[in-house]
Structure 1
């Protein structure tokens, strides 16, 4: 094998090894109708609100709830993301049922014992948003 080919193949292998394990893990789901989330306690259940939407996260089971709270024709979403963002995971739960549709819930699997943020968004990607700090490691 020529020296040039060995250098190119070695360089490609090095890039593959360096980037292995650094890919972002993100997913989105449309929530299923659900009852309300457990009561917020700031230890293993957190909630956040913005005009038009409310979201909650329970670390036990990695469950996210989101509710549309304003009849305005917008969908709403809850997003949980790693914080700091260098660990690169995130999940989004969508509620397209409208204000009369009640709570929806998404059951995710996220890395344990990590700090993160719970975001709530009225009109995903362009609307009002707010967040609160969470932890994925606390259990009930």
Structure 2
């Protein structure tokens, strides 16, 4: 007997609840890295955000990564690998280097925002070099602090950042 003595009512309520939960999860999940966005939504960055154009990564420059933009091309030492449609980013703790990889030929650039837990103004590392490229930005963060990455798309013609976006967890600047 279910709730209030009605046969099967408890089971029906549980099944209905599970179905509602499944539908809500499927409709609120962020876009996967290889999934085309349904529509562009502008991302508003905090005032004072520094926008840095990244330096290209060339083959044979002493990095442990090739210059290709797939997630497998990022250095093994890279922390917090985060991806969304058209962009992959990570943080390399020695050298305080942010990697930005553009993975889609859609006319936009990959962008990796960097936030700290100690009050430093945020920064965004933009890779304007096109699909299939990787680029880096070097910063100097407080070694006892943490950073969080926000990976998104950037339209260089309008200077606008767009979703879909993805956030990393908080990453230790010293890598420990």
Q: Same fold (TM over 0.5)?
A: yes
Task: Confirm whether residue 116 of structure 1 aligns to residue 147 of structure 2.
Answer: yes
Match of 2:125 in 1: 93
Task: Confirm whether residue 33 of structure 1 aligns to residue 78 of structure 2.
Answer: no
SS of the residue 2:168 aligns to: strand
Q: Of the two, which has the highest radius of gyration?
A: 2
Structure 1 moving runs of 4+ over 6 Å: none
**TM-score, normalised via structure 1 length:** 0.68
- After TM superposition, list the pairs within 5 Å mapping 1:1-140 onto structure 2: 26-34=49-57, 35=67, 36-39=73-76, 45-83=79-117, 87-100=119-132, 102-123=133-154, 125-133=161-169, 134-138=171-175
Distance (whole Å) between structure 2 residues aligned to residue 108 and residue 39 of structure 1? 19
Report the aligned-residue RMSD.
2.2
TM-superposed deviation, 1:119? 1.2
SS of the residue 2:163 aligns to: coil
Q: Which has the higher contact order (CA 8 A, sep 6+)?
A: 1
Match of 1:18 in 2: none
Change (3 A) 1:26 1:126: closer
User: Which structure 1 segments of 5+ residues have no match?
Assistant: 1-23
TM-superposed deviation, 1:25? 7.5
User: Which structure 2 segments of 5+ residues have no match?
Assistant: 1-46, 58-66, 68-72, 155-159
Cα pair 1:91 1:108 within 8 Å, conserved:
no
**TM-score, normalised via structure 2 length:** 0.55
